[in-house]
Amino acid sequence: MAQMFPSIGEKRPKMPVFTVEECPRCGTKTKRAFKNGDYVYREGGDCPKCQAKTLITQIFAELIKLQ
């Protein structure tokens, strides 16, 4: 079974963090790199389709798979 946390002295894998912004008007979702200050339900940028203000709906990390 895989460990959730590395042991002492073991290197942690790189996990880039992403933010998902969703437009309440047209439903467009965009994924971008996380910026300091992001939090869920915060107002985001402008929607690329309809120019309405977006809302941050998700913040998550993805594990980089080394080959």
Listed as ranges, residues in the chain with pLDDT below 70 are 1-7, 9, 66-67
In a domain, 15, yes or no: no
What would the pLDDT profile of 26-42 be if each residue is shown by its tens digit? 999 999 999 999 999 99
Residue 61 β-bridge partners: 17
CA–CA dist 34, 17 (Å, integer): 5
* pLDDT score at 55: 98
| pLDDT value of residue 65 | 73
In-domain check, residue 32: yes
The answer to whether residue 35 sits within a structural domain is yes
C-beta of residue 52 within 8 angstroms of C-beta of residue 26: yes
- Residue 46 inside a domain? The answer is yes
Q: Classify residue 33: in a domain, yes or no.
A: yes
Per the structure, the count of domains in the chain is: 1
Q: Provide DSSP, 16-52.
A: -EEEEEE-TTT--EEEEE--TT--TT-EEEE-TTT-P
**Domain assignment present for 8:** no
Q: Which two tokens stand for residue 28?
A: 């467009």
| Domain region containing 49 | 28-61
Enter the tokens of residue 52.
């309405």
Per-residue pLDDT, 25: 96
